[in-house]
Chain A
């Protein structure tokens, strides 16, 4: 089944403790992206990747890192999480970054930083 898999679904952590949210897709998509969703703010893009070893910042990259060493994986790293990073995170992928093809989203990761 074609899908984008994020793990974990729920994560509670403390300020400053490094964490990684994994994202994997099995559709051989070149483009992958991370979003955070906050009440009243909609979805905001954090980072995106056009292909292996090619990543770039979105609207809200501060406090996050990503890597794209393999086509299928695009982990989101929070080196020193802070409470303002408490949010619902979505990973997504698509064949093309130009909008020709729609995004396929993962099921989301709800992160709480205390």
Chain B
């Protein structure tokens, strides 16, 4: 079973629309970390955010916001007023950190391709 599920394979929006990328994770650990990475068409992987399991506070950074809900095991990513430069593949990832967990393992979702049209 996949530890990180990004059910949306592709999303297309028109510029200025808001868009939410879904991420659902699965873990039995009480301590874990969640990440979002962006992969623009140029191919590099860019870190966007890290969230630990004890911090459910939502975060906003400019047009980006993240909604972490332990009750639904979700860590969704919203882009407000999308722009063409937001076009990229976005990956959600999970790292488990309880004592006894295999440290060093990082589980990625399969990614969501976001296309923003002008």
**Which residues of A pack against B, CB within 8 Å?**
31, 33, 35, 40-45, 48-50, 56, 58, 88, 90, 92, 97-105, 107-108
Contact = CB atoms under 8 A, between A and B. Distances in A.
Contacts, number: 68
Contacts of A100: 33
A42 B104 contact: no
Given A90-B45, A99-B97, A42 B109 contact: yes
Interface of B: 6, 9, 32-33, 35, 37, 43-45, 47, 50, 52, 91, 93, 95, 97, 102-111
B104 A41 contact: no
B109 A98 contact: no
Contacts of A92: 45
Nearest to B36: A102
B110 A48 contact: no
B111 A98 contact: no
A42 B35 contact: no
| 10 smallest beta-carbon distances between A and B, as pairs | A99-B33, A99-B95, A42-B110, A105-B45, A43-B108, A97-B104, A102-B47, A98-B97, A48-B104, A42-B108
A45 B103 contact: no
A103 B43 CA distance: 16
A99 B95 CA distance: 6
B105 to A, nearest CB: 7
Nearest to B103: A97
Contacts of B106: 33, 45, 48, 99, 103
Contacts of A99: 32-33, 35, 50, 52, 95, 97, 106
Contacts of A105: 37, 44-45
Contacts of A103: 35, 37, 45, 47, 106
A86 B79 CA distance: 33
Contacts of A104: 47
A99 to B, nearest CB: 3
A58 B105 contact: yes
B43 A98 contact: no
A45 B103 CA distance: 13
B103 A41 contact: no
